[in-house]
Amino acid sequence: GINAEYGEFQTFQDYFKQINLSVSVPANMTKPAIRVCITGGAGQIAYSLLLEIASGKVFGADQPVVLHLLDIEPCVPKLQGVVMELEDLALSLVQGVVATADPLVAFKDIDVALLLGAFPRLKGMERKDLLAKNNAIFIEQGAALDKVAKKSVKVVVVGNPCNTNALTCMKNAPSIPPANFTCLTRLDQNRAKAKLASKLGVSVSEIRNVIIWGNHSGTQFPDARHATVMVGGEGKPLTEVLSDDAWVKSEFIETIQQRGAAVIKARGLSSAMSAAKAIGDHIHDWWFGTEEGQWTSMGVVSDGSYNIPEGVIYSFPVTIGSDRSWKIVQGLAQDDFATEQMKATYNELLEEATAAASL
């Protein structure tokens, strides 16, 4: 059952700034609850993501969670409906909910931070204006994480421009290891896998080790050159199965680079269901590790690998161990085409990072 201890609040808004639901946990559920914060908690991506987490798909069917939902003050009343639905799911894994507009409340003692909330790019807004708006948001959130979150907190930045927002957040949380800050490029990877599977007429699960390099933007480099396809239970290089190199270097790359814009044009809203699935995939792999012989794409702090200078959050192929530490996959051959693509997306990230720093 669910027992709510509401206390006394002066206003409706105060009431929903912090709601703690005490939920009974089955006797066989012995793991301590982890605290997972989702910013933009009243938004459409969060709405899809919450069920993924609450149902056990992300952290496991035996892992209780306390959900922390953060949104801006005008959206706090909307969190009422979200909290009600979480209650009505009647899922025993949900051990509590905190709904608030205060980052210091939302980030208190959390194990995972999924930073979905960001200022959207409005019509007529220049990129520098968008950077300025979001720079302020992620300076505040980084400082709040630094002050009250666990030092082991795993951070996934989704709000765009996510690579640079992650960098800003990381720089403002100096007591948290830089390796704990990542940004989402798994959505791009999932899109790339689906496109290749469609081209070859195989299941998406048969496509492995597609890479997204660089920025989560129109300059990203979706790379199929090191991918494999499972054929008869054996992994074969995709280049042996798909000989259409011209398609790979043109339509494939361009489709993935522009997929987000295509979704917005088609439905009038940005990706939500697929974005939520990708966030769940990202944090699930970070939590449990990647499978032997497979890697995943994550925006992580650059360390000089592949001649990408230090100082940016850049998407690389990574493997993740049972200790939840990631390592950039090394030794992947780069031809002139790949080198050019990887440099172009780095240059954009450098421009963004420089612009953000100047603010």
Which amino acids are annotated catalytic?
216
Question: How far is it, in rounded angstroms, from Cα 335 to Cα 249?
Answer: 12
Taking CA atoms, 105 is separated from 165, 198, 253, in Å, by 21, 45, 42
151 burial class (0-12, 13-18, 19+ CB within 10 angstroms)? exposed
Could you tell me the two tokens for 27? 């006797």
CB 332 within 8 A of CB 317: yes
128 burial class (0-12, 13-18, 19+ CB within 10 angstroms)? middle
- Tokens 């590790």 belong to 289
- Tokens 């650059």 belong to 302
The DSSP result for 129-182, as a single string, is HHHHHHHHHHHHHHHHHHHHS-TT-EEEE-SSSHHHHHHHHHHT-TTS-GGGEE
List the helix and strand counts (H, then E) for the chain. Answer: 13, 16
CA 128, 123, 81, 93 torsion: positive or negative? negative
